[in-house]
Every structure is written in C-alpha cells, then in structure tokens.
Amino acid sequence: MGITLIKISAVYFAIGVAIGYYMSSAHDYALTPVHVHINLLGWTALTLAGILYHTFPILAKSLSGKIHFWLHNIGLPLMMLGLFFVVVFENEALLPLVATGATVTSLGIFSFVFNVLKNLKAS
C-alpha cells in the first residue's frame, strides 16, 4: 500500500508542477487553489503517508489505514475535478462536488490520524 501511494503521489507531483508551470508561463494564476491542493494533499501528504505505511506495516494492515487509502484516493480527485471546473468555467454548479470530495478526503485523513495515534508504537 505504501509503495502504491508513493507512485500515485508522483503522478500528482507531475500534474501539480505542470499546472504551476502553466500558470507561470501564461501569467494566469486562477488555478492556484488546484495547484496548491494537488501539490500538498496529492504529492506531499500522500508521499509522507506512503513512506509511513511502508516503514510501519502495522499502519498499512489496519482497517483505518485501508479506509484512509480509499477515502483519500476517491475524495481528492473529486475535489480537484470540481475545483478545476469551478475555476476554469467560473461556474459554481460543481461546488457540491468540491464539498463532497473535501468531506471524503477529510474523513480519510482523520482515519489516518486515528491510525497513527492508535497503532504507531515505539518498539
């Protein structure tokens, strides 16, 4: 699970940096919220979680780890697609998708935090 998350995070890194590169080149900063969340929740957070799951297998084996994996990987793309649509088309029709994605992602991250606090122990 850890390695899978690190690979997924590398894809987010490429997308996040590509958006940043586009914004710098075009002097169009409208996509900053998408860029920031893809880089921070997609790249950095998932890489760190992946390293933790790989280093401490007990975290990856627990139910809360699996819940985090799925909620983070379902919620974040929904949130980013919705936010992209809202920003690019200046249309708030997909705000409920942003809210749903953000809620699912947040629940996943709360599950990750619960897992770390409950199961991570000094050996």
Least distance (Å) from ligand HEM to the CB of residue 100? 23
Contact between residue 81 and residue 38 where contact means Cβ atoms under 8 Å apart: no
Least distance (Å) from ligand HEM to the CB of residue 28? 9
Burial 93-114 (b: 16+ CB within 10 A, else e): ebeebbebbbebbeebbebbee
Sketch the per residue contact string, 8 through 37, with ligand HEM: x for CB under 6 A, - otherwise.
Answer: ---------x--xx-xx----x--x--xx-
Spatial CA neighbour of 45 closest among 13, 67, 90: 13
44 binds ligand HEM (CB under 6 A): yes
* Contacts with ligand HEM, residue ranges (CB under 6 A): 17, 20-21, 23-24, 29, 32, 35-36, 39-40, 43-44
